[in-house]
Each structure stands twice: as C-alpha cells, then as structure tokens.
Chains A and B, each alone.
Chain A
Amino acid sequence: MARLIETSPCAGLLPRTIGAVDLSEVEPAQITLIAPFKGQQAAVSDALDAALGLTFPAPNRATGQGARAVWSGAGQALLIGSACPALPGAACIDQSDAWAIVRIEGADAARVLARLTPLDLRPEVFQQDHTARSVLGQMPVSLTRVGRHAYEVMVMRSMARTLVQELTRAAQGVADRIEPSI
C-alpha cells in the first residue's frame, strides 16, 4: 500500500519576513465546524463552556484562549485547536485538513491587509477577538484579530498558495513605500 507523506497547506511557502511583517503558518491540532440546530445555540454554548471553558461566539467574535471558537457565518463557528466534545444539539464536522491558516504579524500588518480586503480594520473598530468573513483579493476568507499587531487569515486549503502570494505582494508594496520627507 502506498505510504502518503502528510504536508501542511503552506509547506515550503512559509515562514517569511517582508519589511515589518512576519508571515507564518498556524497548524492547529484539529478544526471542527459547529452548527447548532434551531434553538439549541444556548445549550451548545453551555456544553462548550463546561467542556472547554469557552462559549459559542456571537456574530463577528471569537472566544477562548488556547482552544478557540471563531464565528464563521450565520449560525456556525469553528472550534480550533481542540478535540470537539460531544454536542448533541449541533452538527459537528471535522474540517482539520480543509483550512490553511496564516498569521500575519508586525507593525504594518493592518496596512498590508487593508490593501487586500474592504474590511474596516481600524483598531477601534476591529478589536482583539473580533473576526469577520470577507474577501481578500478574490478569495473568501475568515479574518481574526489575535493581537495588537497580529491577525490570522483562514482560507480553504486549495487557496493557500494564492493567499501567500497575495500577502507577500501586498507586504512588499508596503515595505517599498518611501515616506515623503518634509
């Protein structure tokens, strides 16, 4: 029987540093999509709280430290970095191999992302643990702010190379800017 070699979505592409921005791959142990059935969201949230100490996130928010729940659309969230507990009130789907996650960190991170997405990324609007589904270039993405100058971008695995290419190009553009001297 053939033995397959497992590689991460961004293998050979990351990490890299461009100007004031670091790009690195995030490889969580497990990713599970959780979609509570109608009227079950509160019960699912309680069950998650009891098992992992985090709640089901409100729209455009992420919850938890370590293992995290990231809102990923109407009525659904992604549990990242932990095995999924038994949740009778929800559909739970293992998507561990479906996503590529890139962390973009550095003083210019927001400036780089602003070249690619229409989201309002001003720090007073898009705060820590805020998340959004939007577009980055032509790709649908999930974007979460995880630190003062750090963001995580998730795309479907098949788009990993394009994501790295887009971020690299934008970061290069930001790094090459010459600030006008006064």
Chain B
Amino acid sequence: MRLPCPLCGDRDRREFYYQGAAVTLNRPAPEADADAWDAYLHLRDNPAGETRDLWYHEAGCGAWIMVTRNTLTHEVLGAELIEGVPA
C-alpha cells in the first residue's frame, strides 16, 4: 500500500504509523457533558466505504496527515496535512 503524503508524494506504507479514525480531531469543548467525552474517547464507527484516518509520516517528513480511503475497495482517495485542517 502506498499513501500520498502531501509533502513527500507517494510513499510506502512502512514509513507511516497508523493512529486511527480522524474523529479525534473533533475534540469536545472542555465543559461538554460526559456523554460527549465518552463518545469522543471510546465510540468508533466501523464504516464500510469511505473513511478518514490519521497517519503519522514517522520515517518520512514527520507530518501528521489525514488520509481518505475506501475500506471496501482499498482505494486511497487522497491525503491532506493536519496543519491545514481547520480545528
């Protein structure tokens, strides 16, 4: 599998570290109720189809990226730097 790092171009999967679903970017407000924090920390979807997840280009440029890919076809649709994603 190759991932399209926005800085480095297409690179081998072994250069990357997988972090998980990109929902962790949507952090609840500090005063949000327990349910919101419970969902943020523990509840994950398991979508069949397009997903977005976080990868760390560990052995490459050191950037965190958000990769869009399809879990049904294994197609990698794109990636963007986390730096550029609005919080």
Contact = CB atoms under 8 A, between A and B. Distances in A.
B50 to A, nearest CB: 26
A74 B83 CA distance: 11
A135 B15 CA distance: 7
A133 interface: yes
- Which range contains the number of A residues in contact with the other chain? 10 to 19
A159 to B, nearest CB: 13
B8 A133 contact: yes
A162 interface: no
A152 B15 CA distance: 19
Contacts of A140: 58-59
Interface in B48-66: 58-63
Contact of A74 (B11, B12, B63): B63
B7 interface: yes
Nearest to A139: B59
Contacts, number: 37
Contacts of A134: 11-12, 15, 59-60
A133 B61 contact: yes
Interface in B1-26: 7-12, 14-15
Interface string A119-148: 110000000000011110000100000000
The 9 closest A-B pairs by CB, nearest first: A118-B12, A74-B63, A73-B62, A140-B59, A135-B59, A74-B61, A59-B7, A133-B60, A73-B61
B48 to A, nearest CB: 29
A41 B87 CA distance: 24
B61 A59 contact: yes
A74 B62 contact: yes
Contacts of B61: 59, 73-74, 133
Interface string A64-97: 0000000001100000000000000000000000
Given A118-B14, A118-B15, A134-B15, A59 B8 contact: yes
A132 B59 CA distance: 10
Contact of B7 (A60, A118, A120, A135): A60
Contacts of B58: 140
Given A59-B7, A73-B61, A133-B61, 13 more contacts: A59-B8, A59-B61, A118-B11, A118-B12, A118-B14, A118-B15, A132-B60, A133-B62, A134-B11, A134-B60, A135-B12, A140-B58, A140-B59
